[in-house]
Amino acid sequence: MQEVIKQKQKRMLRLVKSTNAIKSEQGRMIDSEDYYKQVERYAEQIRKTSNADEIIGILDIVLSETRGLRFSNEVFTAQEQVKLAEQKIESLKDELEQLRGLVQTDQMTGAFNRRGLEDIFKREAARADRNAQSLGVILIDLDNFKLINDNFGHQYGDSVLINLVTVAKETLRPSDIVARFGGEEFVILLPDVDMQDALMIIQRIQNNLARNFSIQSDNQVLPITFSAGVALRSFGEHQNSVLNRADKALYQAKRTGKNRAIPALI
């Protein structure tokens, strides 16, 4: 991933250097020598980061300045090259935004991955603290998933994971988040809910999953189920702490019969 970003950094620098002049902050034209000095400043910023957000921000500045060109006699003949540079800068920016999405997304299920979860948890936790709101953190684990893989194959197991995420997204509110935590474990973030609401939401997902997806085995229809531990984040509580509480509740749900959601202790 880092190598892909480095290659796009090099392409971006070549694109920026293809223009001949840009508008300064004061609105005056600057000559080629000054322009290349400014390009080097952009280049230095890009070399110091592999963060896609920062690179996209620099591209926004370059694109804005490229569009701000004032075509004097010196640069009139470069208009077509400038237009081409704008198009390529926009294309590169789109590619980087897509790469940023890949970094934070589990490619099989379409849920956020652990890295995406970390970023979103920080955002939602800060929002919850700022607004004095709750944040529901649910850790779920598919029941008997190893048996599903062993008896029906990993391809079928993958379809179970995909369907779980699909059902969860269709059931949840737009503000809720689904992330794949690892294997058959998923984390759901529910902003601004109380424990009763969180338990009801998880129950709806369980019901919808069982109704829409099942296993045919020995002339029996076996529903796909999962167990869940449901925690409400305390003010200032770290991600690891609240997930640890949810994990203990999940273990209790597994131990007492599976296919149920258990509230976590505070």
Q: Which residues contact 128 (CB under 8 A, 6 or more apart)?
A: 134, 135, 191, 192, 233, 235
Tokens representing 93 are 């920016």
Contact by Cβ (8 Å): 168, 188: yes
Instruction: Tell me how far apart the alpha carbons of residues 127 and 242 are, in angstroms, rounded to a whole number.
Output: 16
Instruction: Tell me how far apart the alpha carbons of residues 207 and 225 are, in angstroms, rounded to a whole number.
Output: 9
Please identify which of the residues 33, 44, 80, 184 carries the catalytic annotation: 184
- DSSP secondary structure, 74-125, as one string: TTGGGHHHHHHHHHHHHHHHHHHHHHHHHHTB-TTT-SB-HHHHHHHHHHHH
Mapped onto helix, strand or coil, the DSSP state of residue 157 is helix
Is residue 184 part of the annotated active site? The answer reads yes
Q: Which of 167, 165, 166, 190 is nearest to 177 (CA)?
A: 190
Instruction: Tell me how far apart the alpha carbons of residues 10 and 60 are, in angstroms, rounded to a whole number.
Output: 16
Instruction: Tell me how far apart the alpha carbons of residues 160 and 166 are, in angstroms, rounded to a whole number.
Output: 10
Residue type, 220: Q
Residues classed as catalytic: 184
